[in-house]
């Protein structure tokens, strides 16, 4: 079990931020958790410590959103997400995280900027949301990036946000998707020997903070107007995309120069 004060300082922030995202904003802030923990432990260990905590948060969020989700979307997204988890487990030791971060960070930034441009310069555009093809693509990408760095939120947001679902249906759909995906991820994580005794004990000690983070997210979700809720989601998507792109760029430079 990790006991360093600096680790618990970073971990406390990571768990609370992730919980707020899980409870109120479709998990958009979860992407911050692994980078925060990676300041003090290796990225793979950071992901392993966060996974049981995220699974606990999923149970709390499922209870909060019980029975509220978009079944049509989940029928497309869940099978695709599980395929993505399988691909992520196969490529865990093959594809460096930097390429995943660069790809998803670029897409998230591009999509967020496009949203704000459409608000300022309204024009007709073809709708791709809700289709089997695009749902499958973004579902696979979400499962894949979720397995690697718990960054499955941005791809799923890119697919769901244009549909302008009611904010609680939007949240419930994402919560249900990641509840399934995260529990399935436990199997390959265990097979890769990432869930060892030290990591699990550390997760258990941090899980005490999970209800507080989720409750704060639920409170914000309840009292935010729907317009502001979606603005917040797009801003989070832009910020997390920028963070991922920055980390991927720095990591790529290290690989190139190293």
What the block records as the tokens of 106 is 């670029």
Side-chain-side CA neighbours of 82 within 13 Å: the count stands at: 10
Question: How would you write 43-72 as a 3-class SS string?
Answer: HHHHHHHHHHHHHHHHHHHHHHCCCCCCHH
Per-residue pLDDT of the chain (258 residues; tens, 9 = 90+): 676 888 888 899 889 888 888 877 766 667 777 777 877 888 788 889 999 999 999 999 888 888 889 999 999 999 999 999 999 998 877 777 788 778 767 877 877 787 677 666 554 444 455 578 889 999 999 999 889 778 788 888 888 888 888 888 998 999 999 999 999 999 999 998 889 999 999 999 999 999 998 898 888 878 777 677 667 767 876 887 787 788 889 888 988 886
CA-CA distance, 155 to 158, in Å (whole number)?
A: 5
How would you classify residue 27: left for phi > 0, otherwise alpha for psi between -120 and 50, otherwise beta?
Answer: left
What the block records as the tokens of 74 is 């989940």
What the block records as the tokens of 195 is 């869930």
CA-CA distance, 115 to 117, in Å (whole number)?
A: 5
According to the model, what pLDDT value does residue 230 have? 67
According to the model, what pLDDT value does residue 123 have? 47
pTM score over 0.75: yes
CB 59 within 8 A of CB 179: yes
Domain around 232: 5-257
Structural domain tally of the chain? Answer: 1
CA-CA distance, 180 to 169, in Å (whole number)?
A: 17
Estimate the crossing angle of helix 153-160 against helix 167-191, to 10 degrees.
150
What the block records as the tokens of 124 is 């007709």
CA-CA distance, 113 to 229, in Å (whole number)?
A: 17
């Amino acid at each position: 079990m990790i006991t360093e004060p600096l680790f618990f300082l970073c971990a406390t922030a990571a768990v609370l931020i992730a919980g707020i995202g899980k409870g109120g904003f479709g998990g958009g802030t979860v992407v911050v958790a692994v980078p925060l923990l990676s300041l003090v432990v290796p990225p793979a260990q950071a992901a392993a410590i966060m996974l049981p905590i995220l699974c606990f948060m999923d149970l709390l969020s499922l209870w909060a959103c019980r029975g509220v989700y978009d079944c049509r979307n989940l029928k497309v997204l869940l099978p695709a997400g599980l395929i993505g988890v399988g691909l992520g487990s196969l490529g865990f030791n093959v594809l460096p995280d930097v390429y995943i971060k660069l790809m998803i960070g670029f897409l998230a930034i591009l999509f967020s900027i496009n949203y704000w441009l459409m608000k300022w310069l309204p024009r007709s555009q073809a709708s791709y949301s809700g289709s089997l093809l695009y749902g499958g693509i973004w579902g696979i990408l979400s499962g894949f990036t979720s397995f690697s760095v718990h960054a499955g939120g941005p791809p799923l947001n890119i697919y769901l946000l244009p549909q302008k679902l009611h904010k609680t249906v939007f949240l419930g759909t994402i919560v249900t998707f990641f509840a399934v995906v995260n529990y399935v991820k436990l199997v390959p994580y265990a097979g890769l020997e990432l869930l060892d005794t030290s990591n699990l004990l550390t997760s258990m000690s941090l899980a005490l903070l999970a209800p507080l983070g989720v409750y704060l997210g639920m409170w914000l979700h309840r009292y935010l107007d729907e317009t502001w809720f979606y603005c917040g989601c797009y801003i989070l998507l832009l910020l997390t995309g920028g963070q991922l792109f920055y980390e991927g760029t720095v990591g790529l430079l290290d690989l190139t120069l190293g």
